[in-house]
Structure 1
Amino acid sequence: MTRIYFTVTNSLVYDQRMQRICTSLANNGYAVTLIGRKLKSDPLPEKTAYRNILLTCFFSKTILFYAEYNIRLFFYLLTQKMDIICAIDADTLLPCLFYSRLKKVKRVYDAHEYFSEQKEIVIRKRVQWVWQRIEKWCIPQFKNGYTVNELLQVTFQNKFGVNYTIIRNLPIQPADYPSNNTPLANTKVILYQGAVNHGRCFETLIPAMKQVNAQLWIIGTGNFFDAAKQLIEAHQLTQKVILTGALLPEKLKEITPGAYLGLTLFEANGLNQKHSLANRFFDYIMAGIPQICVNFPAYAAIQQKYPVTYMVDDTHEDTLAAAMNKLLNDTVLYNQLQQQCYIARKELNWQKEEIKLLLFWKNICIS
């Protein structure tokens, strides 16, 4: 049985992407171990088809956390035996590279995003320089890997000389997803789910809600969470904009179909945002709710085939308010987009994308 280890720096209980990947591989005969970070506030992972390992760190943020976690991860890996090591994003590249060279095992890079081009890194030039150096040295040594769309595939090929497979992070299609969604509340709910991070347009989205007759639920945590709370208070929107914090995937799957519409918004700072293909984009489609989405190339390509979203060319306050009001009031357009969601989710689901994942790992094992 092929032993595969995956490494991330985040919590394991909220990472639906890695849960899907690891479950698919474990259910198809691989011995899978997922290594992540232990946070005091997180519940322990439930029993899964794969093994979960949590590393505890003294530091929780800044470069000190990444340095500590990478050191702890490397020395933990030295105590393990495996056939393949897979780094998830650039923040675990170094220990995986060192281990694979030392132990002479195959290595794979899961390039879920262009790490050094995230806004929170782009705006800190010294920090970006460090991550760019790590990517420049490590990624060309990971000849096998996959990413989430054609734009990132081409970027990695031009920048690092690697030819990665495309495996999108699509949600599982339940057998019993309803075609008529039950509303979450008496008022219409606009939903943002995902990381509450810099670059996700909260600076304009939150004040835009003053012009919108609906509630905004922000589900998630991240490095902009405290700032988002301050913005809500500063604009006196505590009754209209609700910060729930992170929710377990099972709870989120219950909530999402009850929202009226979703939001997939990014600022155009950094290639990572411009070339993104966010998980939430597909989650909204699977839940059967139209969404407002920034008009970036990866989303525009899907929109051309499946018109499931109302696209905006900028994320200014008035633009977002007008877009939300458009979908809240134009029932004909809303129903057209919703019907397209029902059509699209028959194709844009994990059951179909899983086939690509299994073929990729089969080829890695026999190469």
Structure 2
Amino acid sequence: MNERYESYTTDKKDDKKKVVFLLIGNYVYDARVKKEIDTLLKDKYEVYLITNWQKEIVMSNYDSKIKIFLIKPPFKGKYISNYLISFAKYIIYLIKSLYYVYKISPDIVHCHDFPTLIISMFLGRKIKIIYDSHELFSELDYIPKLLRKVVSYLEKRILCNKVDLLITTDEFRLKYLLDKYKCYNKKSIYLYNAPYYREIELKENLVKNKFLIVYFGALQPNRYLEEIILSGKYLDPLKYKITLLGPSSKEYRDKLEMLIYNNGLENIVNIEKPLPYESLLDRIKTEDISLIFYGKKTLNNFLCSPNKLFESIMMGLPVIVSDNPILKKFVSSYSIGVVVEDVNPYNIAMAIIKMSKMDIMKLKSNCIQLGKIFCWDNESKKLLDAYSGLFNNLFKNI
């Protein structure tokens, strides 16, 4: 733990309720966790964050209202990828987190994803437990099957017996969890990871009379990026421009750039350097449409709930999407784009051409109006209502 965070007092202040957020991951880039903390800080809650050690937090001047406890990794260097070492680091995180939870003595412990939920097994019933499931951990393909069965068993026991409130990303994942574990009476809500509301001016985006297409987000394998690039073979470079925008490993970025070069697509497809979140949203609003594709190989991917859907909507960008449930629902219900059932280069190109012939300004207007509804300003009210419901009999399932 970094010493500068040890000085935070854990004495009760006024009548504020203490909340501990447990997180394993990069808090600096976790928009969902940051928005939830921001919402609680503006209300009647005193918030503590216990997370793994992160250089970005140590080097930055974060809001002093957040009491941050950073747990340093016990091992470094060449052993960092060893499974046994990783497991040892995880156990140390659990032990130290449990110690800090007892030291803080909170009213609520808010567990983000399954790895932190284990701590709730060692807490008394006076502490309210919230399970905030960002991912379906028992359905992650990179976890061995045997371990997934263990996760499923523990998740069911803890969810049914210890958790006071279940939160997840959308109605489809919520239904899946309630159906899987037969815990239909569990207090539960879903919170879309939508950005704060922004007022966007409706205007046509024309650069040399080209139709501008953007994919933004992490540039990683299995995101259909190769298919997006190769869709350029079926598009007129004088009429269309595709931009890939987001962080990536150098190796994978080089692979994508080589694919562009080998297929002679430099005039239609380009890759831009990643941008900070706030700059990113301002950048994408200059485009015409956004591409959002997810696979179906695992249930976790199939039941995706991508941030970029709500970010595209907020910035007035119509979308071309794969037929995953949440994506298909928004496009079909609110007329904001086109669904591609079989994601391949030709079908992507045909969908782009189809969109370019539609009334794009009407689609943009639909997105802008939708952004007034699906924004964090509204989602945060659901979070506060659910928190209040933990301490009275007025809780209502949302």
DSSP 3-state at the match of 1:269: coil
Which residue pairs with 2:113 in the alignment?
89
Separation of aligned partners in 1, 2:370 and 2:327: 13
Distance, in Å, in 2 between the alignment partners of 1:120 and 1:263 is: 25
Residues 1:305 and 1:133: Cα distance change in structure 2 (over 3 Å)? same
> RMSD value over aligned CA atoms?
3.1
Counterpart check, 1:147 vs 2:168: yes
3-state SS of paired residue (1:172): coil
Offset at residue 263 of structure 1 (A): 1.8
- The two structures have a TM-score, normalised by structure 2, of 0.78
Of residues 310, 323, 329, the one that matches 1:295 is 323
* Alignment correspondent of 2:370: 344
Equivalent residue number for residue 252 of structure 2: 227
Deviation at 1:188, TM superposition (A): 5.3
- Measure, in 2, the Cα distance between the counterparts of 1:341 and 1:7: 34
SS at match of 2:285: helix
Cα 1:230–1:284 change in 2 (3 A) is: same
Q: Give the stretch that moved more between structures: 136-145 or 274-283.
A: 136-145
Contact 2:200-2:368 at 8 Å conserved across structures: no
User: 1:66 Cα deviation (Å)?
Assistant: 5.8
Counterpart CA distance in 1 for 2:384 and 2:86 is 33
Question: What is aligned with 2:180?
Answer: 159
Find the counterpart in structure 1 of residue 282 from structure 2: 254
1:49-68: per-residue Cα shift (whole Å, max 9, x none)? Answer: 53344433346667544651
Q: Distance in 2 between matches of 1:15 and 1:264?
A: 19
In 1, Cα distance between equivalents of 2:353 and 2:304: 25
SS at match of 1:284: helix
- The percentage of aligned residue pairs carrying the same residue is 23
1:1-367 to structure 2, matched below 5 A, reads: 1-40=16-55, 44-48=59-63, 49-57=65-73, 58=75, 63=83, 64-65=85-86, 67-79=88-100, 80-81=103-104, 82-94=106-118, 96-101=119-124, 105-121=127-143, 124-126=144-146, 128-140=148-160, 141-162=162-183, 163=186, 164-174=188-198, 176-180=199-203, 189-212=212-235, 213=237, 214-221=241-248, 226-236=251-261, 240-242=269-271, 244-245=273-274, 247-327=275-355, 329-330=356-357, 332-366=358-392
Kindly indicate whether the alpha-carbon contact (under 8 Å) linking 1:285 and 1:342 is maintained by their aligned counterparts in 2. yes
CA distance in 1, matches of 2:142, 2:228: 18
Q: Alpha-carbon deviation of 1:145?
A: 1.2
CA-CA distance at 1:252 after TM superposition: 1.9
- The gaps in structure 2 that reach 5 residues or longer are 1-15, 394-398
Q: Distance in 1 between matches of 2:250 and 2:54?
A: 17
Residue 299 of structure 1: how far off its partner (Å): 2.5
Letter of the aligned partner of 2:136 in structure 1?
Y
Summarize the Cα distance change of 1:66–1:235 in structure 2 as closer, same or farther, 3 Å threshold.
Answer: farther
After superposing the two structures, state which structure 1 stretch, 266-275 or 51-60, moved more: 51-60
CA distance in 1, matches of 2:233, 2:23: 38
CA contact (8 A) 2:130 2:165 kept: yes
CA distance 1:287–1:184, change in 2 (3 Å): farther
2-side partners of 1:183 and 1:52: how far apart?
46
Give, in whole Å, the separation in 1 of the partners of 2:18 and 2:60. Answer: 20
- Aligned AA for 1:91? P
- Residue 303 of structure 1 aligns with an amino acid whose one-letter code is V
SS at match of 1:13: helix
SS at match of 2:391: helix
Using the TM superposition, give the Cα deviation of residue 251 of structure 1 relative to its aligned residue in structure 2, in angstroms.
1.9
In the aligned structure 2, how far is the partner of 1:190 from the partner of 1:53?
A: 42
- Pair 335,202 (structure 1): closer, same or farther in 2 beyond 3 Å: same
Is the Cα contact below 8 Å between 1:289 and 1:341 reproduced in 2?
Answer: yes
Contact 1:13 1:44 survives alignment (8 Å): no
| Aligned-partner Cα distance in 2 for 1:321–1:120 | 31
TM-score normalised to the size of structure 1?
0.84
